Amino acid sequence: AQTVTQSQPEMSVQEAETVTLSCTYDTSESDYYLFWYKQPPSRQMILVIRQEAYKQQNATENRFSVNFQKAAKSFSLKISDSQLGDAAMYFCAYRSDNQGGKLIFGQGTELSVKP
């Protein structure tokens, strides 16, 4: 069975600085998808970025980018130029290419942004 681990329960960053959130996963599959979701205090789950395992190029969405290391089974999220609105819980998630598309989530990392 696949597992996802986020080893940093809490992180803090100064406004305008850069922060990296860690995620590791375990799988025997070769085709899969990885996601980062953001959950602000409103509880809404918001997709931040996604990565297809077959793509070697790291995904980027504006200030958000990932460092995908397939061999190491690592998928970290880098937030550049941090803003107060980035403060939230961040979840890393794994999705198999089969198995009904269900997501397997990590435990989450609570990010605070200091002004």
Binding site for another protein (CB under 8 A): 4, 6, 33, 35, 37, 42-47, 50, 52, 91, 93, 95-98, 100-108
Q: How many CB atoms lie within 10 A of CB 63?
A: 13
Residues 101 and 36: their CA atoms lie apart, in Å, by 16
Inter-residue contact 1 to 94 (CB < 8 Å): no
To the nearest whole angstrom, how small is the minimum distance from the Cβ of residue 70 to another protein?
16
To the nearest whole angstrom, how small is the minimum distance from the Cβ of residue 98 to another protein?
6
To the nearest whole angstrom, how small is the minimum distance from the Cβ of residue 113 to another protein?
21
Tokens for 109, please give them.
């990392």
Closest CA to 18 of 86, 72, 101: 86
Decide whether 81 or 97 has the Cβ nearer to another protein: 97
Decide whether 4 or 66 has the Cβ nearer to another protein: 4
Decide whether 6 or 17 has the Cβ nearer to another protein: 6
To the nearest whole angstrom, how small is the minimum distance from the Cβ of residue 46 to another protein?
8
Closest CA to 51 of 102, 93, 86: 93
